[in-house]
Structure 1
C-alpha cells in the first residue's frame, strides 16, 4: 500500500481517470454490440413479415380454406430456431409452427402494438422456460377479410452468452490496462516525488544554516525552475551574509576610529598641562569625531526606519533650485580641499512636492559620493531639467573614477561598498533610493570606469493647485 502523500494522490488520480474512461468506453461498446445484434434479428424478422404479407395478398386464392392458408403460412415462413405464432387480435394463439397451442393469451407489449397497426417488438423472459427471447409481431390481413397477428419468437440466449463472454473479455482487458496504468503512474509519481524529496532534504539543510548546500540533479520543467530558484536563494543568502559580515567589520572600524580619537584626546586633556591652542585643537577633534559618530548612527537609524516603513515625511512644496544651492554650500568646504568645482545649472525655479530635509539628504549623499570619488581639480555639475509637465530630472555628473559595470548593478544594494577603504556603511545609496521612491520618484545611474558617473533623480513636479 502506498503511504499517504503526493505519490499516492498521483497514482489514485491516474487510475480513477483511466478507470472512468475505460468504463465509459466499454459500456458504450457493449451497448452498441448488443443493439447491433438485436437490431439485426429484428430487421430480418421484419423483412420476413413484410414478405409474408405480400405473398398472401398476391398469390393466395380467395376461396382457399382458412386452415389451409394458415398451415401454408407456417410451412412457408418459419425460420430455423424460431417459432412462428398466429394470434387473434386479442392475443389468443390460433396455431404455431411447433404445433403446441397453449390455452393462454399473449400479453406482451408487442401484441397490442401490432394490433394498433405498427410492428411490435418485445425482449424479455419466456414464461415457463425463463429463456431470454425476442418477439416481433405484425398484423396480417388476408384478402381484406381475415385478420391475424403474426408473431415470431426467437431465443437470444446465444447472443446474450456471446455478449457475456465479450463483457468478461473487456473487463479483463480493462483490468490489464489499469495494471499498466498503475505501474506507469507509480513511475511518473516517483519522477516527480523523488526530486521534491531531494529538494526538501536540501532545503532542510539550508534551514539549519548550511547555505553552501546545493540541489543537484538534471531536472526539467517546473521542478528545474524550483531547484534553480532555491539554489539562487541560497546563493543570495550567502552573499547577503557576507555583505553583512563585511558591514559589521566596516562599521566596527568606522566606529572605533573616532572613538579612539575621542578617548585619546579626552585622556590627554584630563591630564592637564596644555596650553590653550593645544586644548582648542583637542576639543575640535573631539567635536569633529563626535559629529562623525552621530552621522554614522543616524544613517543606520534611517535605514532601520525605512526597512520597517516607519520613516515619516513632512510633505510640503520644495524649491529645488534653493535646495541644491544649500546642498552645494554644505559640501563646499569638503570640495575645496580637493579643489573640486561645484556648478549648478538651473535657470528657473522648479517646485516639487516632498520633504525638504529628506530630499536634501538625498542630494547631500549623491554630491558627497561624487566628491569622494572625483579627482583633484575636477568639476561636479548639478543640472535641473524638466522632462515634461509632470516630471523633473536632477542630474549629478562627475568626471571621477567611475564604477565598473559589474559593480553598477549592485551599488544600490544595502551594505554594498565599491571601495571599503573609503569608509562608510554602504547604506547611503540604499537609503537615497528608498527616500526617492517614497516621493514617487526613481533613480537612474550611468557610469564608465575611468570617465565618471552620472546619477539622475527623477521626481514628480508639484501641481499648480499645490503651488497656490
Structure 2
C-alpha cells in the first residue's frame, strides 16, 4: 500500500483515468460486438422470412389443413431454428419441434408483426429458460393476414462467444492497468524524489544552513524551483554578508563622530582653554552631531520606505530652482575639490511632487557625482522634455563604476568602496523615492570614463498644468557663476 502523499495521488489519478477510459472502451466494444452478432442473426432470419413471404404470395396456400401446414413447415424451415406458424391471435398452429402446439405467444415480435413489420424479440423462452431470438412476420393472402410466421433460435452459442470475448477484454484491460500502474509509480517517483530532495534542502535552509544547495539536473518546473531555491540561498548569503558589512561600516561611522564629541566634551569640561579653542571644539561637536543626525535620518528613511510608511507632501515643484538650490548647498564641497557644477539648460519644468524628498534625491546624486569626480572635473546637469515626462540627467566624468558593481550599486547596504564611509543606503533610498513619484531612475557608467544618472519624472496632466501659476522671477535662470561667488580653485564655465 502506497502511503499518503503526492506519489499516492499521482498513481491514483493516473490509474483512475486509465481505468475509466478502459472501462468505457470495453463497454462500447462489447456492446458493438453483441449488436453485430445479434444483427447478423436477425438479418439472416429476416432475409429468409422475406423469401418465405414472397413464396407464399406466389403460391398461396389457402386452406388450413394438416397437409397445408406440413407444406409450410417443409418449405419455410430454416436450419438451426424452430419454425412456428401462429394464428392471428398468437395461438401456435404448428411447430417444427412438435411441442407446445397449444401455447399462445404474446411477445412483442408477434404484436408488431401484425402491423406488417418484420420484428424481433430477445428474451428467455418459456419452459426452457434459454436466451432466444424470435423473428416474426405475417403471411398475407389477397392483402389479408392469414398466419404469423415465427422463427426462434437459441443465442447460447453466441452468448458463450461474447462471454469469451468479455473475459479476454477484461484480461487485456487488467494487463494494461498493471502496466499503467507500474509506469505511474515510476513517474510518481521521478517527481516525488526531487521534491523530497528539495524539501530536505529547504528544511536545512530553514534552520539557517544557507551553504547547502539542491543538487541534480531536474527538468521543467522542478528544475526552475531548484534553481530558484539555490538562488534564494545565494542571495540570503549575500544579503547577510552585506548586512554584516553594513553593521561594521555603520558602527565605524557612528564611533568616529561619537569619539570626537566625547573627546571634545571631556576637554571642554575640564576647563582652562581660551575662547578660540573652545569655539573650535564646539564647531567640531556641532559638525559631528549633524553627521550623526544625517546617518540616523538615512536609516529611518530607509526603514519607512521598506514598511511603506513614507508619506509625500506634494505640491508644485520648479525643478530648475530645486537644482540651483542644490548647487548652492554643495558649492563649498565642490570648491574644495575644484569641481565645476554646470546647469546648461534654460528650461524651467514644473512638476507635482514632494519638494523636500526630490531635493533629497538630487542632493544625493549630485553629492555622489562630486565625490567620484576627478579634481577640477565637471558635473553636468541637464533637462530633457517630452510629452509626458521630464528627464533630469546628472553626468560626471570621474572614476565611473565597473561592470562588476554596476548591477549591485542600487542594492541596499552595498558600497563600491567602503573606505569612503556611508551606509550604502543612499542610492537605494533615492531609487525608492523616485518610484514613489511614479518615476524611473536609470544609471549608466563606464569604468574610468564617468557616470550618468537619469531621473525620469512624470509631468502634470494638461488639466493640472493649467492650475500651476506662472512665476515671473527669473533669478534662478542665471548662469551658475553669476549666482555663486568665484573662488580660487573653482573653474568658470
- TM bin, normalised by shorter chain, reads over 0.9
- The equivalent of 2:29 in structure 1 is 29
The answer to whether 1:361 aligns with 2:374 is: no
- The equivalent of 1:45 in structure 2 is 45
Give the Cα–Cα distance (whole angstroms) in 2 for the partners of residues 143 and 290 of structure 1.
131
Query: Tell me, what secondary structure is at the counterpart of 1:215?
Result: coil
Measured after TM superposition, the shift of residue 40 of structure 1 is 0.7
Give the Cα–Cα distance (whole angstroms) in 2 for the partners of residues 59 and 74 of structure 1.
14
The answer to whether 1:405 aligns with 2:403 is: yes
Counting only pairs closer than 5 Å after superposition, residues 369-388 of structure 1 correspond to structure 2 as 369-386=368-385, 388=386
- The equivalent of 1:416 in structure 2 is 414
Tell me the alpha carbon deviations over residues 123-160 of structure 1, each in whole angstroms, 9 at most, x when there is no partner: 00011111110100000124657711100010001111
- The equivalent of 2:434 in structure 1 is 436
Q: Residues 422, 70 of structure 1: CA spacing in aligned structure 2 closer, same or farther, 3 A cutoff?
A: same
Q: Residues 390, 377 of structure 1: CA spacing in aligned structure 2 closer, same or farther, 3 A cutoff?
A: same
- Confirm or deny: 8 A CA contact 1:396 1:454 kept in the other structure: yes
- The equivalent of 2:473 in structure 1 is none
- The equivalent of 2:487 in structure 1 is none
Q: Residues 284, 165 of structure 1: CA spacing in aligned structure 2 closer, same or farther, 3 A cutoff?
A: same
Give the Cα–Cα distance (whole angstroms) in 2 for the partners of residues 140 and 152 of structure 1.
13
Counting only pairs closer than 5 Å after superposition, residues 291-310 of structure 1 correspond to structure 2 as 291-310=290-309
Tell me the alpha carbon deviations over residues 317-345 of structure 1, each in whole angstroms, 9 at most, x when there is no partner: 01111111110011111111111111112
- Confirm or deny: 8 A CA contact 2:364 2:426 kept in the other structure: yes
Counting only pairs closer than 5 Å after superposition, residues 3-402 of structure 1 correspond to structure 2 as 3-59=3-59, 66-142=65-141, 147-386=146-385, 388-402=386-400
Tell me the alpha carbon deviations over residues 160-181 of structure 1, each in whole angstroms, 9 at most, x when there is no partner: 1111121122112212211111
- The equivalent of 1:465 in structure 2 is 466
Give the Cα–Cα distance (whole angstroms) in 2 for the partners of residues 378 and 314 of structure 1.
36
- Confirm or deny: 8 A CA contact 2:122 2:131 kept in the other structure: yes
In the superposition, the TM-score normalised over structure 1's length comes to: 0.97
In the superposition, the TM-score normalised over structure 2's length comes to: 0.92
Tell me the alpha carbon deviations over residues 186-227 of structure 1, each in whole angstroms, 9 at most, x when there is no partner: 111111111111101100000000011100012111100110
- Confirm or deny: 8 A CA contact 2:136 2:150 kept in the other structure: yes
Give the Cα–Cα distance (whole angstroms) in 2 for the partners of residues 431 and 398 of structure 1.
20
Give the Cα–Cα distance (whole angstroms) in 2 for the partners of residues 66 and 419 of structure 1.
127
Query: Tell me, what secondary structure is at the counterpart of 1:127?
Result: coil
Give the Cα–Cα distance (whole angstroms) in 2 for the partners of residues 248 and 112 of structure 1.
102
- Confirm or deny: 8 A CA contact 2:242 2:414 kept in the other structure: yes
Measured after TM superposition, the shift of residue 402 of structure 1 is 0.4
Give the Cα–Cα distance (whole angstroms) in 1 for the partners of residues 332 and 27 of structure 2.
94
Q: Residues 287, 125 of structure 1: CA spacing in aligned structure 2 closer, same or farther, 3 A cutoff?
A: same
- Segments of structure 1 that go 5 or more residues without pairing to the other structure are none
Q: Residues 54, 66 of structure 1: CA spacing in aligned structure 2 closer, same or farther, 3 A cutoff?
A: farther
Aligned length: 466
Give the Cα–Cα distance (whole angstroms) in 2 for the partners of residues 224 and 18 of structure 1.
28
- Confirm or deny: 8 A CA contact 1:342 1:379 kept in the other structure: yes
- Confirm or deny: 8 A CA contact 2:56 2:139 kept in the other structure: no
Measured after TM superposition, the shift of residue 101 of structure 1 is 4.0
Measured after TM superposition, the shift of residue 441 of structure 1 is 0.9
**Cα-Cα RMSD:** 1.5
**In terms of mean alpha carbon deviation, does 422-431 or 263-272 score higher?**
263-272
Measured after TM superposition, the shift of residue 460 of structure 1 is 1.4
Give the Cα–Cα distance (whole angstroms) in 2 for the partners of residues 239 and 208 of structure 1.
17
Give the Cα–Cα distance (whole angstroms) in 2 for the partners of residues 235 and 63 of structure 1.
106
Q: Residues 383, 76 of structure 1: CA spacing in aligned structure 2 closer, same or farther, 3 A cutoff?
A: same
**In terms of mean alpha carbon deviation, does 32-41 or 136-145 score higher?**
136-145
Give the Cα–Cα distance (whole angstroms) in 1 for the partners of residues 96 and 214 of structure 2.
85
Tell me the alpha carbon deviations over residues 282-315 of structure 1, each in whole angstroms, 9 at most, x when there is no partner: 2211111111111111110111111111111111
- Segments of structure 2 that go 5 or more residues without pairing to the other structure are 470-493
Q: Residues 92, 344 of structure 1: CA spacing in aligned structure 2 closer, same or farther, 3 A cutoff?
A: same
Query: Tell me, what secondary structure is at the counterpart of 2:466?
Result: helix
**In terms of mean alpha carbon deviation, does 159-168 or 69-78 score higher?**
69-78
- The equivalent of 2:444 in structure 1 is 446
